[in-house]
């Protein structure tokens, strides 16, 4: 079975390339000396932006969700905030972060106090173990995505996205993996962004990508699960939540394997597939909603 013309177009268009990262105006450039610090702060705070479809959400400079976070950090840097300095954010107050993340709307960013705790934790660790620089963490990995991932989850507890599934410990590491992926994408796989084992990184198990997998019939939910997702907020660690996240990871691995068998020259990884699926959901949110494909709602720091 060959790839359809539409699928081939997606690959050739650049939407499945690292350059897609730099096309977002809110993202930093690799030649900025503060880029690694920016990526680390953003991915430390990169969780829980969802709101109910019939309610107003948190927005910054017209952006919503993750892009609103990027815009808020960029705004803070322009206003001469020290938000990229671990010495500052290791003691940042809730009022200071609230000002940095202030909204265009009356809706504040969710889980503000949890975000403060995350910044305190990672800022303290960088000062104690890595000479106040996330760059030293990346250098210690010696261009290994697997080692960098392990360094992140071993040293920064708030990135330790783990659970127990039917008596067995499982790990998802959404934010830790997306941090590795962002470094690779931002630096276009070169220099400090080169990783010799990038295929060790899976998709980033969040609450949006599964919606796109549902849209494409890669995943299918039973009616009782659909009803539950439409009417309830799950807890981090719930059986259904873990199954959705785990099946999403496995599905993307199967998609990667299938696509790479069909491609002649260009090969793709799970990060690029995740980027495409996540972008698709943002662009087609209304259509996905109208089709009755819910996302699993969870309040937690991991995604």
Residue 275 has pLDDT above 60, yes or no: yes
Percentage of residues in the chain with pLDDT exceeding 90? 87
187-230 pLDDT tens trace: 999 999 999 999 999 999 999 999 999 999 999 999 999 999 99
Residue 294 has pLDDT above 90, yes or no: yes
CA–CA separation, 2 and 12 (whole Å): 15
CA–CA separation, 122 and 115 (whole Å): 11
pLDDT recorded at residue 262: 87
DSSP codes joined into one string, 213-256? HHHTTSS---HHHHHHHHH-PBPTT-HHHHHHHHHHHHHHHHHH
11-61 pLDDT tens trace: 555 555 655 665 689 999 999 999 999 999 999 999 999 998 888 899 999
In terms of phi and psi (left: phi > 0; alpha: psi -120 to 50; beta: otherwise), the region of 265 is alpha
pLDDT recorded at residue 154: 98
- The residues that are catalytic are 206
pLDDT recorded at residue 3: 46
Least confident of 3-7, 19-23, 100-104: 3-7
Residue 298 has pLDDT above 90, yes or no: yes
50-81 pLDDT tens trace: 998 888 899 999 999 999 999 999 999 999 99
Q: DSSP alpha helices (H): ranges in the chain?
A: 5-12, 19-22, 35-44, 65-78, 86-89, 94-100, 112-129, 134-140, 145-155, 174-186, 209-215, 223-231, 239-262, 270-283, 285-290
Residue 233 has pLDDT above 80, yes or no: yes
pTM: 0.92
Distance of alpha carbon 272 from the chain centroid: 12
pLDDT recorded at residue 21: 66
Q: Which pLDDT band, with edges at 50, 70 and 90, does 2 fall under?
A: very low
């Amino acid at each position: 079975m060959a790839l359809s013309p539409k699928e081939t177009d997606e690959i050739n268009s650049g939407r499945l390339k690292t350059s897609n990262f730099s096309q977002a105006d809110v993202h930093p450039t690799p030649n900025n000396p503060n880029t690694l610090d920016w990526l680390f702060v953003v991915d430390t705070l990169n969780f829980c932006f969802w709101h109910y479809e019939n309610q107003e959400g948190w927005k910054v400079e017209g952006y919503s969700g993750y892009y609103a976070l990027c815009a808020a950090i960029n705004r803070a840097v322009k206003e001469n905030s020290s938000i990229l300095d671990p010495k500052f954010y290791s003691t940042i107050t809730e009022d200071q972060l609230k000002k940095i993340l202030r909204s265009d709307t009356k809706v504040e960013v969710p889980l503000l106090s949890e975000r403060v705790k995350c910044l305190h934790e990672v800022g303290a660790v960088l000062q104690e173990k890595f000479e106040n620089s996330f760059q030293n963490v990346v250098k210690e990995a010696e261009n290994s995505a697997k080692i960098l991932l392990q360094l992140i989850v071993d040293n920064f507890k708030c990135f330790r996205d783990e659970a127990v599934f039917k008596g067995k410990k499982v790990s998802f590491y959404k934010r830790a993996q997306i941090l590795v992926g962002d470094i690779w994408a931002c630096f276009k796989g070169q220099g400090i962004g080169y990783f010799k084992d990038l295929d060790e990184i899976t998709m980033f198990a969040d609450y949006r990508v599964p919606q796109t997998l549902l849209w494409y019939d890669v995943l299918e939910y039973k009616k009782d699960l659909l009803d539950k997702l439409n009417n309830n907020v799950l807890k981090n660690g719930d059986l259904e939540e873990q199954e959705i996240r785990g099946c999403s990871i496995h599905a993307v691995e199967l998609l990667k394997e299938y696509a790479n068998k069909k491609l002649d020259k260009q090969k793709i990884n799970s990060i690029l597939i995740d980027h495409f699926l996540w972008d698709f959901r943002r662009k087609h949110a209304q259509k996905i909603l109208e089709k009755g494909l819910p996302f699993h709602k969870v309040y937690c720091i991991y995604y």
